[in-house]
Amino acid sequence: MTSSSTKRPVHRLLRWLQLGANHVLVLMMATMFVSFILQIGFRYVSNKPLAWTDEVCVLMWLWGILWGGAFVMRNRDDIRFDVLTGHVPRGVKRVLTVVASLSAVAILLISLPASWSYISFMKVEDSAALGIRMDFFFSIYIAFVLAMVVRHTHLGIEALRNRLLDDEITGTETSGDAA
């Protein structure tokens, strides 16, 4: 079995997971939109506001932002301030990428136990209208942190291998350039 034949099922699986994550985000945004429209209709047409629509909108907004950041957004879609890195040689850019990636991974991993503790503690609280446990409300943050750890670990490893995010965007790669 060649390496290209083993990559194809993996690429298909990753593509399928990416499409699934996109569809979940679309459903979250649609749910938020429908809840918002219902709230406007009931508040201003029938003068009877619905309390649950506010909670659905907040839940879908929170989950949508973190889900999208973790599973939908690609590295090239990320906003980066490259005032410094845009004007340095490739080797320096690689070092800065590794340092930034290691810093992000370290900060996220250091914050993980406290985040887990807080989210676990929130199981004692329920939302006012829907009665959803608040640990569920905030649990997406753990998935977001873990996904960011994986993403930034990958970025750092790729920089060590002389592949930068700029290469992905421009379609170029300099394999012979040393740090």
Per-residue model confidence (pLDDT) at position 4: 54
Is 21 within 8 Å of 67 (Cβ atoms)? yes
3-state secondary structure of 149: helix
Q: Comparing 109-118, 143-152, 168-177, which segment has the lowest mean pLDDT?
A: 168-177
Can you tell me which residue has the tokens 């960011």? 148
pLDDT band at 179 (very low <50, low <70, confident <90, very high): very low
pTM of the model: 0.84
Sign of dihedral through CA atoms 176, 80, 20, 66? positive
Q: 51 with 129: CB under 8 angstroms? A: yes
CB atoms within 10 A of CB 171: 6
Do residues 144 and 119 lie in contact, with contact meaning Cβ atoms separated by under 8 Å?
A: no
Instruction: State the Cα–Cα distance between residues 22 and 119, nearest whole angstrom.
Output: 25
What percent of the chain lies above the pLDDT cut of 90? 77
C-beta neighbour count of 95 within 10 angstroms: 15
| Percent of the residues in the chain that have a pLDDT greater than 70, as a whole number | 89
